[in-house]
Amino acid sequence: MINTLFLPELREMLESGNSTELRDFCEALHPAATAEFMEGLTVDEAWRVLQEATRETRSEIFSFFDEARQIEILETQDREQVAQLIEDLAPDDRVDVLNEIEPQLSEQLIKLLPSDDRRETLRLQAYPEGTAGAVMTTEVIKLDESLTIRHALEQLQKQSNEVETIYYLYVVDELDHLRGVLSARDLISSLKSPEKTLRDLMETEPLTVDVHDDQEEVARKVAHYDLLAVPVVDDQHRFQGIITHDDIIDVVREEATEDAHRIAGVEPLDAGYLQTRISQLCWNRGVWLAPLFFAAMLTAKAMERFDERLSEPAWLWLFIPLVISAGGNSGNQSATLVITALTTGNVRISDWLTVVRRELLMGLLLGTLLAVVFLPTGWLVAPELNATNPMNLAVIPVTLLFVVCSGTIVGSILPLLFQRLGQDPALMSNPFVAGIVDILGILLYVMVAGWFLG
């Protein structure tokens, strides 16, 4: 749904070349709102509107455009003007968008940057996606520890428009080693003693993350400690940048979506669903669907192998999908519960024995539940169940009990195992669970039927 509230007015202003009104429009609202009102404009129109804004506002509004529009602007508009815009973006946003456009254009634009911005961009680009280094921004307030509170406040005033957050002051030595951190809150409550130095007040062992840390780990730390921003250091404890709360929210959301996709057997998308090319989407789904299909072929093979034992009595084959899906569903539940608990830190690998014990108990309870549901309803599907052999009635309930337990056990152990192996537990667990539990289901079914029906 595109917000069309101001579209006619915007188009009129563009047509009549009314610069003053266009500038007012750009400056009046929060840049995120301005970006939203411009959604209905073509890329050319949007770019012309942006030209009327101040450089600062222009880059701010631009950073709220969706990725597809950002890319299109960079790829179609005047090279010089675009380079200026790129220069004005926050360093982390700049790298994000440069990584999305055609590599050749990206190189050209980087060459047009002032030398310090260019160096910084190349440095940030070197960090692999998903690491703290790739998410951090470098526009922060760095001060010397000998500075007095009074002078620190002056610095804050001076720099407040250039940096991403003024809410922490970072104290570094001449080699850029991080010596301490002072929050703006502490600075303000210390204003009554303006001659104290930062050394007296700063926190000397602040929480830090390493440039190579996984962004998910960083998000967990920031969330756990309720921080506004966390400093990023290299292996020599040199201060490299900070990661702020808004980036953390994006990371949390991104990681949650990735987990959900992996759990459903979809390779996580780089862009939004609607922005992803059909061919890409097909690939990201096919790479999971095909192995799952092979697993189903193995299940079919197992059925063929036990053909005779599953077709006599004839009603046995009717319940194959029922048996398989009971295992799949309970396994899916267990895997998802364990994966989300691992992600939020509620469960750790060392809890594995507790988890497996709980899941075995759950399997027994849920298996019994399904068995109890089956007993009075099974004959609706296969009337011959109630006739002849009373042993008939026992086959499906007992199989359900076994299959649901195998689902909960496999579903809980696999994510723990993947986590233990240093892999994302969401990576392969559910598809793996499905494949393993399906075949297990057939084997258990054959076994139980053999017991009761000879």
3-state helix, strand, coil in the chain (%, to 5): 65, 5, 25
Strands laid side by side in the 209-210 sheet: 209-210, 229-233, 239-244
Residue 251, class by beta-carbon neighbours within 10 Å (0-12 exposed, 13-18 middle, 19+ buried)? buried
Side-chain half-sphere CA neighbours of 426 within 13 A:
22
CB of 16 to a copy of itself, least distance (A): 27
Pairwise CA distance, residues 340 & 11, whole Å: 48
Mark the segment that binds a copy of itself (CB under 8 A) among 14-22, 48-56, 93-101, 152-160: 152-160
Q: What is the DSSP string of 405-453?
A: HHHHHHHHHHHHHHHHTTS-TTTTHHHHHHHHHHHHHHHHHHHHHHHHH
Given 126, 290, 387, 391, the residue binding a copy of itself (CB under 8 A): 290
Minimum CB distance to a copy of itself smaller for 55 or for 348: 348
Given 47, 62, 127, 319, the residue binding a copy of itself (CB under 8 A): 319
Give the footprint of a copy of itself on residues 334-363 (CB under 8 A): 335-341, 343-344, 346-351, 354-355, 358, 361-362
Minimum CB distance to a copy of itself smaller for 79 or for 224: 224
Mark the segment that binds a copy of itself (CB under 8 A) among 51-59, 101-109, 135-143, 376-384: 376-384
Minimum CB distance to a copy of itself smaller for 118 or for 309: 309
Based on the shown chain and the rule CB under 8 A, indicate whether residue 285 belongs to the binding site for a copy of itself.
yes
CB of 119 to a copy of itself, least distance (A): 27
Minimum CB distance to a copy of itself smaller for 126 or for 369: 369
Side-chain half-sphere CA neighbours of 67 within 13 A:
15
Given 128, 235, 304, 376, the residue binding a copy of itself (CB under 8 A): 304
Give the footprint of a copy of itself on residues 25-44 (CB under 8 A): 30, 32-33
Give the footprint of a copy of itself on residues 42-61 (CB under 8 A): none
Q: Work out the angle at residue 348's Cα, subtended by the Cα atoms of residues 345 and 353, and round it to the nearest 5 degrees.
A: 145
Given 23, 27, 72, 317, the residue binding a copy of itself (CB under 8 A): 317
Minimum CB distance to a copy of itself smaller for 112 or for 292: 292
The DSSP call for residue 137 is: B
Given 257, 280, 389, 447, the residue binding a copy of itself (CB under 8 A): 257
Given 82, 124, 198, 322, the residue binding a copy of itself (CB under 8 A): 322
CB of 333 to a copy of itself, least distance (A): 5
> Would you give the binding string for a copy of itself spanning residues 75-114, x where CB under 8 A is met?
----------------------------------------
3-state secondary structure of 273: coil
The answer to whether the CB of 359 falls within 8 A of the CB of 409 is: yes
Q: What is the DSSP string of 194-226?
A: TTSBHHHHSBSS---EETTSBHHHHHHHHHHHT
Pairwise CA distance, residues 412 & 415, whole Å: 6
* Bridge partner residues of 239 (DSSP): 233
* Bridge partner residues of 197 (DSSP): 148
> Would you give the binding string for a copy of itself spanning residues 188-227, x where CB under 8 A is met?
xx-xx--------------x-----------x--xxxxxx
CB of 422 to a copy of itself, least distance (A): 16
| Size of interface with a copy of itself, in residues (CB under 8 A) | 114
**Measured between alpha carbons, how far apart are the two ends of the chain, in Å?**
64
Based on the shown chain and the rule CB under 8 A, indicate whether residue 161 belongs to the binding site for a copy of itself.
yes
Minimum CB distance to a copy of itself smaller for 264 or for 446: 264
- Cα R_g (the chain), whole angstroms: 30
The DSSP call for residue 178 is: E
Angle between helices 55-64 and 43-51 in degrees, nearest 10: 150
Minimum CB distance to a copy of itself smaller for 47 or for 288: 288
Based on the shown chain and the rule CB under 8 A, indicate whether residue 68 belongs to the binding site for a copy of itself.
no
Given 248, 395, 401, 405, the residue binding a copy of itself (CB under 8 A): 248
Q: How far is CA 428 from CA 264, 295, 359, in A?
A: 10, 13, 19
CB of 354 to a copy of itself, least distance (A): 7
Pairwise CA distance, residues 329 & 332, whole Å: 5
Give the footprint of a copy of itself on residues 259-278 (CB under 8 A): 259-261, 263-266, 269, 272-275, 278
Given 5, 126, 249, 391, the residue binding a copy of itself (CB under 8 A): 249
Structure tokens at 274: 């609607």
Given 185, 200, 204, 217, the residue binding a copy of itself (CB under 8 A): 185
Based on the shown chain and the rule CB under 8 A, indicate whether residue 138 belongs to the binding site for a copy of itself.
no
Give the footprint of a copy of itself on residues 385-444 (CB under 8 A): 434, 438
